[in-house]
């Protein structure tokens, strides 16, 4: 029996038999994500906790070696932080001295050592990850940095204009704008497999940056806002043991023969940590807490082939979703909210006439680090307004559904 989602963990001893569970109740909620279970113990270990499906959900050897089957690191295990605190501070003797300002200091030092007097181009998307990356580089190397914002034709409505205004005028960065819409759409023509989409977009990004670098006095480095979840879910040189969930365009989607050397100051940080670093850098709150937007853009929110017609439909749907989320004062309470254009078409009736249009899915999730997520219980009236507006304002869409799948077993994005 597989075990995905919430489960109740019971300690074997009512008094508590493991240092991991010091000062915790005999039973509490945890988050499971596995299809296997432990049935026999290694020598010297005993069971310390179990769930309905896992007779050995936690084990220990009495000498600060532990094994657990559940996930204490995710927000969906409410007492997970207490478990990690017991392990780190009681069992391992660690100290809690991580602060954002130290990360800023160390990152600036590492960037200067890696880059020296070289020129760097920074892939700027407008999201918090690339914004914090650009902020760190700007402080570290100043005029050696040129930010390049590539319009790949897969952006949301009015996004290209907003990004240029925010970063060029608002933050004073040296920003170059490249409109590569046609080449990305040509590259995606006929492509339906999501892995091929991601890799094609990743490779095309690199080629665009390499061409832009030719006019920037021999730029040697490419900086990008890669985070640790991107590395975990992709297959990367330092991550050969975990299964590839999907190829992130900025990790597994990079070409092997790229000419630029990578600078990735956020590679081992999670999103919540990146936001703390952004605040320490003095970036505006609305930039730091902007909802995540995937690097491959709307291409992975269109199921099947990406076309200009479908992009136009999805942009309108997505605009309505975000507009209603903001109108209901929910934007800052949700990790991510967006629309997906499915490849399914259904029969409808509008104005006494038969229609045959696409199905739009609405997705809204809560999370802390994107490693796990739960679907948001949006108010019915908000969903009703979204649905009514989409079918009335977006030609070609005649049905709206709401995605109530957690991660796992689903992912946040559909592709």
Where does the pLDDT of residue 49 fall: very low under 50, low under 70, confident under 90, or very high at 90 and above?
very high
Quickly list DSSP for 101-125: HHHHHHHHHHHHHHHTT--EEEE--
How much is the pLDDT for 252? 47
Q: Please name the residues in contact with 256: beta carbons below 8 A apart, sequence gap of 6 or more.
A: none
Secondary structure of residue 33 in the 3-state scheme: strand
Using CA atoms, how far apart are residues 5 and 84, in angstroms rounded to an integer? 20
Where does the pLDDT of residue 249 fall: very low under 50, low under 70, confident under 90, or very high at 90 and above?
very low
Residues 46 and 115 in one domain: no
Residues 274 and 331 in one domain: no
Where are any strands of DSSP class E within 116-215? Answer: 120-123, 145-151, 175-179
Ranking 178-182, 286-290, 298-302 by mean pLDDT, the lowest is: 286-290
Within-domain flag for 270: yes
Give pLDDT tens digits for 323-347. 999 999 999 999 999 999 999 999 9
Do 278 and 128 contact (CB within 8 A), yes or no?
yes
Secondary structure of residue 35 in the 3-state scheme: coil
Within-domain flag for 67: yes
Share of the chain above pLDDT 90, in %: 68
**Residue 155 belongs to domain with CATH number:** 3.40.50.620
Within-domain flag for 407: no
Residues 43 and 85 in one domain: yes
**Residue 45 belongs to domain with CATH number:** 3.40.50.880
Residues 125 and 236 in one domain: yes
Query: Residue 91 has what DSSP assignment?
Result: I
pLDDT above 70 (res 103): yes
Where does the pLDDT of residue 189 fall: very low under 50, low under 70, confident under 90, or very high at 90 and above?
very high
Where does the pLDDT of residue 238 fall: very low under 50, low under 70, confident under 90, or very high at 90 and above?
low
Burial of 377 (0-12, 13-18, 19+ CB in 10 A): exposed
How much is the pLDDT for 6? 87
Within-domain flag for 415: no
Structural domain span for residue 265? 100-289
- Closest C-alpha among 58, 86, 108 to residue 280: 108
Residues 25 and 107 in one domain: no
How much is the pLDDT for 99? 92
Give the residue-averaged pLDDT of 238-263. Answer: 60
Distances (CA, A) of 229 to 31, 139, 336: 18, 25, 16
Beta bridge partner(s), residue 66: 60
Residues 86 and 108 in one domain: no
Do 5 and 35 contact (CB within 8 A), yes or no?
no
Domain boundary among 91, 124, 143: 91
Helix (H) or strand (E) holding 380: helix 380-393
Residues 64 and 138 in one domain: no
Residues 84 and 142 in one domain: no
Residues 162 and 209 in one domain: yes
Domain boundary among 62, 91, 120: 91
Beta strand pairing call for 221-223 and 66-68: unpaired
Retrieve residue 343's tokens.
Answer: 């490849």
Give pLDDT tens digits for 65-88. 999 999 998 878 999 999 999 999
Burial of 332 (0-12, 13-18, 19+ CB in 10 A): exposed
pLDDT above 80 (res 117): yes
Within-domain flag for 413: no
How much is the pLDDT for 234? 62
Residue predicted with more confidence, 314 or 245:
314
Do 404 and 376 contact (CB within 8 A), yes or no?
no
Number of domains in the chain: 3
Within-domain flag for 301: no
Give pLDDT tens digits for 7-35. 999 998 766 568 999 999 999 999 888 88
Q: Give me the chain's average pLDDT, please.
A: 89
Residues 84 and 105 in one domain: no
Residues 107 and 87 in one domain: no
């Amino acid at each position: 029996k597989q075990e995905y989602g919430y489960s109740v963990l019971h300690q074997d001893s009512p008094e508590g038999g493991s240092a991991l569970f010091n000062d915790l109740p005999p039973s509490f909620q945890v988050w499971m994500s596995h299809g296997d279970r432990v049935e026999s113990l290694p020598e010297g270990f005993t069971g310390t906790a179990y769930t309905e499906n896992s007779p050995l959900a936690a084990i220990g050897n009495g000498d600060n070696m532990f094994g657990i089957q559940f996930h204490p690191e995710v927000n969906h295990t409410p007492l997970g932080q207490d478990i990690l605190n017991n392990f780190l501070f009681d069992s391992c003797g660690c100290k809690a001295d991580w602060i954002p300002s130290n990360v800023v200091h160390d990152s600036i030092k590492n960037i200067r050592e890696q880059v020296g007097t070289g020129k760097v181009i920074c892939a700027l998307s407008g999201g918090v990850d690339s914004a914090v990356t650009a902020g760190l580089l700007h402080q570290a190397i100043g005029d050696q940095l040129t930010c390049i914002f590539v319009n790949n034709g897969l952006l949301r409505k009015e996004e290209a204009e907003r990004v240029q205004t925010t970063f060029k005028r608002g933050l004073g960065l040296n920003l170059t704008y490249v409109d590569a819409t046609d080449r990305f759409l040509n590259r995606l023509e006929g492509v339906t497999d999501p892995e091929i989409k991601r890799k094609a977009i990743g490779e095309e990004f690199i080629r665009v940056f390499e061409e832009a670098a030719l006019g920037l006095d021999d730029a040697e480095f490419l900086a990008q806002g890669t985070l640790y979840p991107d590395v975990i879910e992709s297959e990367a040189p330092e991550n050969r043991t975990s299964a590839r969930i999907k190829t992130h365009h900025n990790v597994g989607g990079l070409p092997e023969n790229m000419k630029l050397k990578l600078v990735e100051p956020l590679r081992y940080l999670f999103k919540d940590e990146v936001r703390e670093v952004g605040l320490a850098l003095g970036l505006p709150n609305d930039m730091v807490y902007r909802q995540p937007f995937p690097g491959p853009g709307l291409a992975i929110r269109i199921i099947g082939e990406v076309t200009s017609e479908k992009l136009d439909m999805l942009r309108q749907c997505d605009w309505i979703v975000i507009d209603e989320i903001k109108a209901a004062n929910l934007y800052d309470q949700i990790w991510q909210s967006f629309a997906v254009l499915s490849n399914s078409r259904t029969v409808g009736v509008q104005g006494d006439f038969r229609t045959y249009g696409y199905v739009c899915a609405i997705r809204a999730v809560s999370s802390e680090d994107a490693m796990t997520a739960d679907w948001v219980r949006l108010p019915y009236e908000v969903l009703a307004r979204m649905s009514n507006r989409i079918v009335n304002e977006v030609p070609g869409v005649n049905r709206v559904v709401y995605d109530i799948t957690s991660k796992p077993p689903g992912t946040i994005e559909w592709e």
